[in-house]
Amino acid sequence: MIVRAYIYEENMQPFDMATATNMTNGHTVVADLNGYIELPANNNDTIHIEAMGYVSKNYKAFEVPPRIIMQPAINELPAVEITAPKKKTNWLGIATGIAIVGAIIKYLTNE
Protein backbone atom coordinates (compact mmCIF):
# COMPACT_ATOMS: atom_id res chain seq x y z
CA MET A 1 0.00 0.00 0.00
CA ILE A 2 0.98 3.64 -0.40
CA VAL A 3 0.22 6.05 2.45
CA ARG A 4 -0.88 9.40 1.05
CA ALA A 5 -1.64 12.50 3.10
CA TYR A 6 -1.46 16.28 3.19
CA ILE A 7 0.25 17.82 6.20
CA TYR A 8 -0.80 21.28 7.37
CA GLU A 9 0.26 23.76 10.01
CA GLU A 10 -2.46 24.75 12.47
CA ASN A 11 -3.34 27.77 10.29
CA MET A 12 -4.06 25.32 7.42
CA GLN A 13 -0.98 26.35 5.43
CA PRO A 14 0.75 23.40 3.73
CA PHE A 15 3.62 22.14 5.86
CA ASP A 16 6.32 21.60 3.27
CA MET A 17 9.12 20.65 5.66
CA ALA A 18 7.33 17.96 7.69
CA THR A 19 8.72 14.43 7.44
CA ALA A 20 6.97 11.09 7.41
CA THR A 21 8.88 7.96 8.41
CA ASN A 22 7.84 4.35 8.16
CA MET A 23 9.19 3.16 11.52
CA THR A 24 9.18 -0.47 10.36
CA ASN A 25 11.53 -0.10 7.39
CA GLY A 26 13.06 3.36 8.06
CA HIS A 27 11.90 4.89 4.76
CA THR A 28 11.49 8.68 5.18
CA VAL A 29 9.99 11.32 2.90
CA VAL A 30 9.76 15.11 3.17
CA ALA A 31 6.47 16.80 2.34
CA ASP A 32 6.46 18.73 -0.94
CA LEU A 33 5.49 22.41 -1.29
CA ASN A 34 1.82 21.44 -0.97
CA GLY A 35 2.45 19.45 2.22
CA TYR A 36 1.86 16.20 0.34
CA ILE A 37 3.56 12.90 1.25
CA GLU A 38 3.55 9.44 -0.30
CA LEU A 39 5.16 6.61 1.62
CA PRO A 40 5.18 2.86 0.91
CA ALA A 41 3.99 0.81 3.88
CA ASN A 42 2.26 -2.36 5.02
CA ASN A 43 -1.08 -2.05 6.86
CA ASN A 44 0.35 -2.42 10.37
CA ASP A 45 3.51 -0.35 9.89
CA THR A 46 3.82 2.66 12.18
CA ILE A 47 4.04 6.00 10.39
CA HIS A 48 5.75 8.79 12.33
CA ILE A 49 4.98 12.39 11.26
CA GLU A 50 7.22 15.14 12.63
CA ALA A 51 8.49 18.68 12.15
CA MET A 52 10.81 20.77 14.28
CA GLY A 53 8.88 22.74 16.89
CA TYR A 54 5.69 20.70 16.44
CA VAL A 55 4.18 17.77 18.32
CA SER A 56 4.97 14.58 16.42
CA LYS A 57 2.24 12.05 15.58
CA ASN A 58 2.17 8.28 15.09
CA TYR A 59 -0.39 6.33 13.09
CA LYS A 60 -0.80 2.77 11.87
CA ALA A 61 -0.42 2.90 8.09
CA PHE A 62 -4.05 1.92 7.48
CA GLU A 63 -5.23 4.71 9.87
CA VAL A 64 -3.30 7.69 8.44
CA PRO A 65 -5.90 10.41 7.75
CA PRO A 66 -5.84 12.20 4.39
CA ARG A 67 -5.25 15.55 6.19
CA ILE A 68 -2.91 15.88 9.15
CA ILE A 69 -2.82 19.13 11.11
CA MET A 70 0.34 19.65 13.17
CA GLN A 71 0.16 21.44 16.52
CA PRO A 72 3.04 23.62 17.78
CA ALA A 73 4.96 22.22 20.72
CA ILE A 74 4.87 24.58 23.67
CA ASN A 75 8.04 24.45 25.70
CA GLU A 76 8.14 26.79 28.66
CA LEU A 77 11.52 27.73 29.99
CA PRO A 78 12.00 28.32 33.72
CA ALA A 79 11.80 31.92 34.94
CA VAL A 80 15.07 33.82 34.95
CA GLU A 81 15.79 36.82 37.16
CA ILE A 82 17.92 39.47 35.51
CA THR A 83 19.73 41.94 37.73
CA ALA A 84 22.06 44.76 36.83
CA PRO A 85 25.61 44.31 38.05
CA LYS A 86 26.63 46.50 40.95
CA LYS A 87 28.66 49.45 39.84
CA LYS A 88 32.16 49.34 41.27
CA THR A 89 33.56 52.47 42.87
CA ASN A 90 36.73 53.72 41.24
CA TRP A 91 38.67 54.47 44.43
CA LEU A 92 41.90 55.12 42.52
CA GLY A 93 40.18 57.82 40.45
CA ILE A 94 38.66 59.40 43.58
CA ALA A 95 42.01 59.36 45.41
CA THR A 96 43.76 60.86 42.38
CA GLY A 97 41.12 63.59 42.15
CA ILE A 98 41.45 64.43 45.87
CA ALA A 99 45.24 64.54 45.58
CA ILE A 100 45.03 66.94 42.61
CA VAL A 101 42.52 69.20 44.41
CA GLY A 102 44.74 69.12 47.52
CA ALA A 103 47.81 70.05 45.46
CA ILE A 104 45.93 72.93 43.81
CA ILE A 105 44.70 74.25 47.18
CA LYS A 106 48.23 73.98 48.63
CA TYR A 107 49.66 75.79 45.61
CA LEU A 108 47.05 78.56 45.84
CA THR A 109 47.41 79.06 49.59
CA ASN A 110 51.24 79.17 49.59
CA GLU A 111 51.57 82.06 47.21
Report d(CA 15, CA 53) in Å as an integer: 12
DSSP string of 42-69? -TT-EEEEE-TTB--EEEEGGG--SEEE
Report d(CA 78, CA 107) in Å as an integer: 62
Report d(CA 43, CA 63) in Å as an integer: 8
* Domain at 14, CATH number: 2.60.40
Nearest 5°: CA angle at 32, between 28 and 33?
155
The answer to whether residue 16 is domain-embedded is: yes
pLDDT tens-digit series, residues 12-27: 899 888 999 999 999 9
Binning pLDDT at 50, 70 and 90, where does residue 63 land?
Answer: very high
> What is the span of the domain harbouring residue 54?
2-69
Q: pLDDT exceeding 70 applies to what percent of the chain?
A: 96
The answer to whether residue 22 is domain-embedded is: yes
